[in-house]
Every structure is written in C-alpha cells, then in structure tokens.
Amino acid sequence: MSSERVIVITGTRKGIGRYLAEKYLAAGDRVVGCSRDPNDLQHENYRHHCLDVADEDGVKKLFNATRKEFGQLDVLINNAGIASMNHSMLTPLSTIERVLSTNVTGTFLFCREAARLMQKKQSGRIVNFATVAVPLKLDGEAIYAASKAAVVSLTEVLAREFAPLGITVNAVGPTPVKTDLIRNVPEDKIQALLNRQAIPRFGEYRDVENVIDFFISSASDFITGQVLYLGGV
Amino acid sequence: MSSPTRDQVANCVLAAIDTLNPQLESDRQIERSLTAKLFGREAPLDSLGLVNLIVTVEEQLSDDLDVTITLANEKAMSRRTSPFRSVDVLIDFILEMLSDEAKAAA
C-alpha cells in the first residue's frame, strides 16, 4: 500500500498500541487512535477519541469522523484488550463481563465499522489480537483465553465475509510482552508459560510489529483468516 | 432540532441509490423512484448489495441530516416483511426509527 494510509489503532495511550501509532505516524501515515483516557500523543496526523471500545455510539462516532475527514480507511489494528488471571472458581461476573466486552464486543464493533468504510475502496487490512494463551490452554486464564478464542473465531469468519469486499482479516498471537497486561501475573506463572514456547523469551514490540507489517503489506492480499502465533507454540 | 421530514429522508435514500448504482451490474440497477423494489423477489439487490445500500443510506442520513441510526437492528430483523423491500417502505422504516429515538430521548 502507498504511504499516507489511514490507520485506526485501538488502545493507543500506552504499550504496543502507542508504539505502533508512533511508528506509523513516523512513516507518514495518518493514525486515528482511541483509549478510555486522554492521550498525550501529539502529532499533526494523529486524531484521538476517548471511548470504551465496546460503546457502539462512541465507535460509530470515531468511524464517522474518520470518514468525514479522510474519506477512507486502509488498516484497522484491533490492539485494545484486557486480561484477567484468576482461578475460574474465583472469577467474579463483573470480570467476565469486562473482559468479554472489551476483547470480543470491542473487536467486533471495530471490525464491523471498519469494513463499512473499507468496502468503498474494495480493499483493506484488519489485524486482530489473539494470544498464545489460546493454543497453550493456560490454566488460570479461562475467561481471557475464551475471549481471545472468540477473537480467533471472529477473525476466521469475518475473513470469509469480508473477502468479497477486498478486505483481509488476520490475527497476531503474541507471547507475553512486558506491558501492563501481564503486570499482575506471578513471575513463576509467566516463566512456566515462556518455557512452553519453542523460543522461551518474552516477546518484544518489534516481534508484534513485524507480523502486523506482514499482514498489512499490499503483497499480503492473498492471506486472510490466519492466526500467526509468536514464539513457536 | 426538529425531526427530519419525509421528503428529507426520501432525498437521502435516493441520493444513496445514486451513489450505489454505479457500483452495481447493469442488470442490477435500482430504479430511482419511491416505489422502486430493493430486496426480495424480482428486486435488484442481492444480500451484499443490500448491505451496501444500508451502509450508504446510514452515511447519507449522517451527512445530510446529522442523524446517526442503525437500520439493520433487531426491529428490522424480526419483522415478518422486510423493511428493505422497497424505497417507500424503507423511508417509512427510517421515519419510524427516528420517531422511536426522539421518544426515547424525551
């Protein structure tokens, strides 16, 4: 794809989302980001929306504003997500609803609205976020893994629905990356998880970036419905 | 802000048809009239075409009348007869949605 793409990234206030937003802005792309709280990222080509990714009205407003200002959308990176580490017998309903709302509903709403905008050009790239917790079937992460299994399923089904519109839908499945997402996970649990990878190290932002760049490349127009797990799981 | 009139909504739907027709095959063109068939037996749109029409109408309503509504809602899906079967029925459905929203906001 040409430079000056229009890219929507969810969860841009910190972590991988922030890293990706800065990277694509530096490359000359126009980036629309969002988070629950205000973002101090300042750039002439950056637009920020404060919203909950599961709030339909807020999501529609973001895409409406993007359509009215830029008239197109080339890439959606569905990065926003929350995790929960807890034995299933001790997991409160509020946690279940919060995780499913952000990870599943949020991902779906952004895919839906993005596709509406992308279909005008009959091209687009959507990248969702899965996790190695799905294939590794991690105990203590029942709800988080279930929510991301749903994201995998969404990715595979939407890939088929959106293919006639020229839109690809893929997912990256990161290993643990040192972000707030794993802040509260005990060290021994993380180490046990890393030991199950073929390459037992933490993921880096650049590992995730590499997969995303591959998926959103113009040459990847024959690649859809795929989940690429990092670390060798 | 006052509710949009039937004529205003009709203009949005017709404008959406103008936007959509160039993307449709020659044998799938939508007639530009209030009685034109849209979806169903002997109608021009297939399911993907209907998706495009709904998206385009929603955008037109947002751009021209500054209203945000979701047409493919549970009310639409649960109807015995589709609110997307013809232009005039679609206009009635949009006005009904706008009226419901106005009542809910009151």
CATH of the domain at A60: 3.40.50.720
A210 pLDDT higher than 80: yes
As a whole number of angstroms, the distance between CA A176 and CA A185 comes to 10
Q: Which residues pair with A33 in a beta bridge?
A: A9, A48
As a whole number of angstroms, the distance between CA A52 and CA A38 comes to 12
As a whole number of angstroms, the distance between CA A49 and CA A24 comes to 17
B95 pLDDT higher than 80: yes
Among the partner residues A60, A67, A119, nearest to B68 by beta-carbon distance: A60
A144 given a catalytic annotation: yes
Q: How far B55 CA sits from the closest chain A CA (Å)?
A: 7
Alpha helix ranges (H) inside A9-141: 15-26, 56-70, 93-100, 106-118, 133-136
What is the predicted pLDDT for the residue at A184?
73
What is the predicted pLDDT for the residue at A155?
98
As a whole number of angstroms, the distance between CA A31 and CA A76 comes to 10
Q: How confident is the model at residue B106 (pLDDT cuts 50, 70, 90)?
A: confident
As a whole number of angstroms, the distance between CA B106 and CA B94 comes to 18
CA angle A167, A173, A174 (to 5 degrees): 130
As a whole number of angstroms, the distance between CA B67 and CA A66 comes to 16
What does DSSP say about strands A167-173 and A124-129: parallel, antiparallel, or unpaired?
Answer: parallel
As a whole number of angstroms, the distance between CA A8 and CA A46 comes to 10
Question: Are B93 and B71 a contacting pair, CB within 8 Å?
Answer: yes
Chain A residues close to B20, C-beta within 8 Å: none
Which of B47, B55, B74 to mutate to probe the A interface, most A CBs <10 Å?
B55
Ramachandran assignment for A95, one of left (phi > 0), alpha (psi -120 to 50 degrees), beta (any other): alpha
A167 domain-assigned: yes
Give the tens place of pLDDT for each residue, B2-16: 789 999 999 999 999
Among the partner residues A60, A64, A164, nearest to B48 by beta-carbon distance: A164
What is the predicted pLDDT for the residue at A1?
45
Q: How confident is the model at residue A2 (pLDDT cuts 50, 70, 90)?
A: very low
Count of Cβ atoms closer than 10 Å to residue B64 Cβ = 15
As a whole number of angstroms, the distance between CA A30 and CA A3 comes to 9
Find the chain A residues whose C-beta atoms sit closer than 8 A to any C-beta of B: 56-57, 60-61, 64, 67-68, 116, 119, 164
Q: How confident is the model at residue B23 (pLDDT cuts 50, 70, 90)?
A: confident
What is the predicted pLDDT for the residue at A58?
96
Domain of A104 in residue numbering reads as 6-229
Chain B residues close to A61, C-beta within 8 Å: 68
Query: Region A78-95: what's the mean pLDDT?
Result: 93
A110 domain-assigned: yes
Q: Which residues pair with A169 in a beta bridge?
A: A126
Question: Are A80 and A123 a contacting pair, CB within 8 Å?
Answer: no
Q: How many domains does chain A have?
A: 1
Q: How confident is the model at residue B1 (pLDDT cuts 50, 70, 90)?
A: low
A33 domain-assigned: yes
Chain B residues close to A158, C-beta within 8 Å: none
Which of A118, A120, A162 to mutate to probe the B interface, most B CBs <10 Å?
A120
Q: Does B63 touch chain A (CB under 8 A)?
A: yes
What is the predicted pLDDT for the residue at A189?
81
As a whole number of angstroms, the distance between CA B50 and CA B85 comes to 10
Nearest by Cα to B48 from A163, A6, A75: A163
A1 domain-assigned: no
Q: In what order do the strands lie in the sheet with A227-229?
A: A46-50, A30-35, A6-10, A75-78, A124-129, A167-173, A227-229
**Segment (H or E) for A168:** strand A167-173
What fold is seen in the domain B6-105?
Answer: 1.10.1200
Q: Does B101 touch chain A (CB under 8 A)?
A: no
Place of tokens 């751009």: B63
Query: Region A186-209: what's the mean pLDDT?
Result: 92
